[in-house]
């Protein structure tokens, strides 16, 4: 019986060593994970001190100015009269600049009506055609702003309603 007890002891000690090594490895992995997390959190917590330096490059808040009344343009398509109604909103970054642009609103409205009347129904029936028209209208308003105020006042012109008949 003594021989059978001696044979069981070395195998039991080997299993205990293996379990202890596994637990130690697990504790080491958890410790490294907690340490790395703490390190990266401390590193990111120190970044806001440098953030004010970057805020000088951030754009100002957008300001929107709706042009009322909506634009209505008519044109002929194969001898058939067609109509287009467009509601427009200007996006800028400075309310004072948009207010200064209001003085030139008759010129802007004239240019936009002429632009809208020169379009064909087929090109306006597609989303690509509408986007191209929006970009041309934006360029037209920016051109007037540059000529009259000496700077580009609006970022973009937005179609808030677009109806073709």
Q: What does the block give as tokens for 58?
A: 């951030």
Please give the model's pTM, rounded to 2 decimal places.
0.63
Question: pLDDT by residue (tens digit) across 65-82?
Answer: 999 999 998 877 788 888
Tell me the helices (H) and strands (E) count for the chain, helix number first.
Answer: 6, 3
Question: pLDDT by residue (tens digit) across 89-147?
Answer: 999 999 999 999 999 999 999 999 999 988 888 888 899 999 999 999 999 999 999 99
What is the rounded CA–CA span in Å between residue 141 and residue 112? 8
Q: pLDDT: is 116 or 42 the higher one?
A: 116
Average pLDDT, the chain: 84
pLDDT higher than 70, residue 45:
no
Q: Cβ distance 73 to 105 under 8 Å? A: no
Look up the CATH number of domain 63-164: 3.30.1130
């Amino acid at each position: 019986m003594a021989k059978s007890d001696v044979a069981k002891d070395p195998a039991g000690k080997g299993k205990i060593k293996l379990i202890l090594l596994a637990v130690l490895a697990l504790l080491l992995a958890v410790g490294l994970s907690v340490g790395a997390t703490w390190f990266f959190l401390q590193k990111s917590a120190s970044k806001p001190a440098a953030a004010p330096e970057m805020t000088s490059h951030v754009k100002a808040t957008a300001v929107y100015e709706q042009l009322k009344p909506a634009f209505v343009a008519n044109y002929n398509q194969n001898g058939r009269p067609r109509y287009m109604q467009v509601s427009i909103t200007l996006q800028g970054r400075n309310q004072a600049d948009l207010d200064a642009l209001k003085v030139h609103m008759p010129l802007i409205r004239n240019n936009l009506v002429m632009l809208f009347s020169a379009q064909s129904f087929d090109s306006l029936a597609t989303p690509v055609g509408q986007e191209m028209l929006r970009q041309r209208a934006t360029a037209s308003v920016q051109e007037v702003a540059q000529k009259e105020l000496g700077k580009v006042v609006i970022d973009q012109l937005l179609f808030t309603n677009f109806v073709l008949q």
